[in-house]
Amino acid sequence: MNSKESPLYLNYSENERDSEIERLQKIEWDLLVIGGGITGAGIAREAAFRGLTVALLEMNDFAYGTSSGSSKLAHGGIRYLAQREFGLVREATTERNWLRDKAIPHLVRPLQFIYPIFSERNVGGRQLPRSKDSVRKIRFAAFLYDLLCGFHNYGSREVVKEKSLRELEPAFDSTGLVGAVLYYDTNLGDERLTIETIWDGLRTGLVCVVNYMAVTDLMLDSAVKICGVVAKNRIGPSDEAESIQVRAKAVVNATGVWTDRILEMGQKPEVKIIRSTKGVHIAVPRSKLPVNRAFGLRSLDDDRFFFVLPRNDWVLIGTTDTDFSGDPSECYCNSEDADYLRRTVNVLFPDAKIENDDLLGSYAALRPLVYEPGKSESEVSRKHLILERSDGLLTIVGGKLTTYRKMAEDLLLDHLKKWIKKGYPKFSTRKGLAKVPYTVALSLEDWKNSKVVRNSTLDSNILRHLYQQYGKGGLLILRNLEGKTQLIERLLTEYPTNVCPWILGEIDYIIRRECPVHLVDVLARRMEVAWLVHPKYQGKIAGRVAQLMTNILGWSEERKDAEIQQYINHVKRNSFFYEGEIATS
């Protein structure tokens, strides 16, 4: 890995991965993190900012697990107020504000939400139940929501009546509305937040990260303390895959729903600590569900809370919350999950009539909740938990995408700090030390004022997309386009730029700098193409991107074909709604 131009722009492609694997084995790391989701990414960044050397091993791709399948919000979780989780809401709203205002403002964007409250009413012959919440209660909740973050929310909250809501949201059936509360949270890209968090740590020069490197065992020293891990490289033919040993003074298990599997290594856990629940999302074009704001709705089936979330010219609908006990890598949205969401949306937005044919994509993810006997899925706390085992293994579970920095800080300051007395390397223990902007952070104003943006002839939707997804990285993408006409080409021209803003130039940037190993890594975990583009176009996209990867990384034709097939299988598994062909040309 090298950073020829400036520390901002590290080159780290698949071709540099082998040298990173060598680097992994050269020293004893101060901290080794198992898991490259947002929790592991946050810990690596936090520890490196505090001066520790860090190795991060991920058995699949970065953000492979829950961290690319969330509702993609940095939010305080207004619904947790009903569960009296005031501490959690304060923590989450405070972190949300930091992400939105300072850390990475191009990626974390304010989004207005509506929470409607109904009296009993009849819609389309169906008797709808009266909302359990009252306007007073919700108005107070919205006030508390702002109070808990020191009134630093974006915009102000308000309560509107039926007539106003009709004007604000004509697609929504406001009949019987008692009132609706408007408040703000934020939209983000969870996979990009995870990647940028890892790369922000990498830029310190103290971190080594390797994807497709599975931890298979824990190493113990003569005092029966953990002194490293055994890991297997999952790239290349499996019969050639060798196990390597990576030494470390401390090891953190940040493997989300896989936590119990790591705990089983070395020592049997007394009880399982993870309870996985599945949550799905479906995506439709915004023209199909023309909302102007996000909605927090209660399901007409069981009164559960879920969202309708506009993202530029698409709308995401989700999520569900059902217990899941299968293989975490085989978790998909099915028609039953989608029907649950559609039933309520199609009643409350009567003209939407969302059918399978209207869907663009779907995805599912698992919540790594801490097991709490006797509680229903939605009642289980979203608070995080840090455990320290007698052999020194640290395990961190639960929490939220939004609170990853605070989780990492708690691990370092409430746990590792105590180890310093026992000879662990000294590190900076100042609270809030890593609460600084990401290196790629860029304000909209600075983006618009930059010369390369002002001189660009690209369509405004493409420019908006490059800014939102990459921040300062977007400036580099634009600079790199100069004289390279192929990179200006759009990924797909069948859609207009508002719903298909991707260009080959950003894919070139990802391949060279963000170490995707497989085609699916680019399209599902660096970009949102895998679930925002209809499956019928995915074969064509796969062919184009695989060719670019072949040109840059020197893949063989055989490898290219295998990568395309692997990606198409990924799309098929996530497209219960489409039975047609996925042609590759």
Question: Would you count residue 193 as binding ligand FAD (CB under 6 A)?
Answer: no
Q: How far is the CB of 365 from ligand FAD (least distance, A)?
A: 4
Choose, by CB under 6 A, the member of 21, 38, 440, 523 that binds ligand FAD.
38
- The letter for the amino acid at 239 is D
Q: Which stretch binds ligand FAD (CB under 6 A): 64-72, 131-139, 197-205, 521-529?
A: 64-72
Question: Would you count residue 273 as binding ligand FAD (CB under 6 A)?
Answer: no
Measured in degrees and rounded to the nearest 5, phi and psi for residue 183 equal -150, 170
C-alpha atoms less than 13 angstroms from C-alpha of 255 in its C-beta half-sphere: 27
Q: Which is nearer to ligand FAD, 276 or 498 (CB)?
A: 276
Q: How far is the CB of 533 from ligand FAD (least distance, A)?
A: 21
Nearest to 186, CA basis, from 474, 471, 468: 468
Q: How far is the CB of 500 from ligand FAD (least distance, A)?
A: 24
Contact predicate 560/547, CB 8 Å: yes
Which residues, in sequence order, are CB contacts of 51 under 8 Å at separation 6+?
A: 206, 426, 427, 428
Choose, by CB under 6 A, the member of 14, 40, 260, 467 that binds ligand FAD.
40
Choose, by CB under 6 A, the member of 24, 55, 57, 520 that binds ligand FAD.
57
Q: Which is nearer to ligand FAD, 13 or 233 (CB)?
A: 233
Which residues, in sequence order, are CB contacts of 117 under 8 Å at separation 6+?
A: 131, 133, 134, 135, 138, 177, 178, 179, 180, 181
Q: Which is nearer to ligand FAD, 518 or 560 (CB)?
A: 518
Dihedral angle sign, alpha carbons of residues 551, 556, 559, 564: positive
Q: How far is the CB of 151 from ligand FAD (least distance, A)?
A: 21
Q: Which is nearer to ligand FAD, 77 or 474 (CB)?
A: 77
Q: Which is nearer to ligand FAD, 362 or 575 (CB)?
A: 362
Nearest to 176, CA basis, from 130, 237, 236: 130
Question: Would you count residue 64 as binding ligand FAD (CB under 6 A)?
Answer: yes
Q: Which stretch binds ligand FAD (CB under 6 A): 33-41, 110-118, 459-467, 550-558?
A: 33-41
Q: What's the full length of the chain, in residues?
A: 585
Binding track, positions 74-93, relative to ligand FAD; x by CB under 6 A: -x------------------
Strands 361-370 and 31-34, by their bridges, are: unpaired
DSSP 197-256: HHHHHHTTT-EEEESSEEEEEEEE-TTS-EEEEEEEE-SS-GGG--EEEEEBS-EEE--G
453-492 positions binding ligand FAD, by CB under 6 A? none
295-354 positions binding ligand FAD, by CB under 6 A? 319
354-373 positions binding ligand FAD, by CB under 6 A? 365-368
Q: Which is nearer to ligand FAD, 31 or 458 (CB)?
A: 31
Contact predicate 474/501, CB 8 Å: no
Q: Which stretch binds ligand FAD (CB under 6 A): 168-176, 257-265, 343-351, 530-538?
A: 257-265
Question: Would you count residue 516 as binding ligand FAD (CB under 6 A)?
Answer: no
User: Hey, what's the torsion of the CAs at 248, 254, 260, 265, to 10 degrees?
Assistant: -10
Contact predicate 296/78, CB 8 Å: yes
For residue 319, cis peptide bond before it (omega within 30 degrees of 0):
yes
325: left (phi over 0), alpha (psi -120 to 50) or beta: alpha
Q: How far is the CB of 487 from ligand FAD (least distance, A)?
A: 30
Burial class (CB in 10 A: 0-12, 13-18, 19+), 459: middle
Question: Would you count residue 67 as binding ligand FAD (CB under 6 A)?
Answer: yes
Binding track, positions 213-252, relative to ligand FAD; x by CB under 6 A: -xx-------------------------------------
Q: Which stretch binds ligand FAD (CB under 6 A): 145-153, 396-404, 414-422, 506-514?
A: 396-404
What beta strand segments (E) does 326-373 contain?
Answer: 361-370
- The letter for the amino acid at 125 is G
Choose, by CB under 6 A, the member of 35, 116, 296, 310 that binds ligand FAD.
35
Query: Which chain residues interact with ligand FAD by CB under 6 A?
Result: 34-40, 57-60, 64-67, 69-73, 75, 214-215, 254-258, 262, 279, 319, 365-368, 399-402
